[in-house]
Chains A and B, each alone.
Chain A
Amino acid sequence: DVKVTQSSRYLVKRTGEKVFLECVQDMDHENMFWYRQDPGLGLRLIYFSYDVKMKEKGDIPEGYSVSREKKERFSLILESASTNQTSMYLCASSTGSHTGELFFGEGSRLTVL
């Protein structure tokens, strides 16, 4: 079975802190994605990556950056956390074409105070 693991299930950070959210997948998938999910807004794509060291902006990249140094790992970085970045963050991976089957991690609930 495909496993997508997000390192932290719950985080509480203060405004201005730098935040790292880590995601690892174990199925050699080429594609990895970061979404955020907010009530009433659904899932919104932040960044995605089709290969190591490659990244593309999604719909809401402002305030975020990503890193993909190894195929299995995709990190989301909040350079200076703000309260409006309080959200559920979901990592996903897929193989093949841009829209192969998506597999999600358990999510990281971030609260910024």
Chain B
Amino acid sequence: KQEVTQIPAALSVPEGENLVLNCSFTDSAIYNLQWFRQDPGKGLTSLLLIQSSQREQTSGRLNASLDKSSGRSTLYIAASQPGDSATYLCAVGTYKYIFGTGTRLKVLA
């Protein structure tokens, strides 16, 4: 059974810091992996989608990598800003999406 883990559950960093969020999964037989951002009380906003044949995707200050063999993905946020404060979730695509429980990020001004 596929399990998705995100550690740490919460993270506080000063503004301007580069940071890495982690997502690990137990079964490497995946179609893709998607990173989302969720603001309090809102829905999920898609950030990046990495297909299983890809190693990474970039969008602006965000870079996501995927290592299927080790069951890991990282989301790198460069030059963090207070507006980046949110919960970040990863979801692993098998025959359906399996979600991690998220990392709650706070960027301090």
Contacts and interface: CB of A to CB of B under 8 A. Distances in A.
Interface residues of B, number: 22
A45 B96 contact: yes
Contacts, number: 54
Nearest to A97: B31
A42 B44 contact: no
A61 interface: no
A109 interface: yes
Q: Is the interface of B mostly helix, strand, loop or mixed?
A: strand
Interface string B33-58: 01010000111111001000000000
A22 interface: no
Interface centre among A4, A45, A97, A104 (most CB of B within 10 A): A104
A97 B42 CA distance: 26
Interface residues of A, number: 23
B28 interface: no
A84 interface: no
A90 B96 contact: no
Contacts of B91: 43, 102
A102 B43 contact: no
Contacts of A34: none
Interface of A: 4, 6, 40-43, 45, 48, 58, 88, 90, 92, 97-99, 101-107, 109
Interface of B: 31-32, 34, 36, 41-46, 49, 89, 91, 93-97, 99-102
8 contacts: A42-B99, A42-B101, A42-B102, A102-B34, A102-B91, A104-B36, A104-B43, A106-B43
Given A40-B101, A102-B91, A109-B41, 19 more contacts: A4-B43, A6-B43, A42-B99, A43-B89, A45-B96, A58-B96, A88-B41, A98-B31, A98-B96, A99-B31, A99-B32, A99-B97, A101-B34, A101-B49, A102-B46, A103-B46, A104-B44, A104-B46, A106-B42
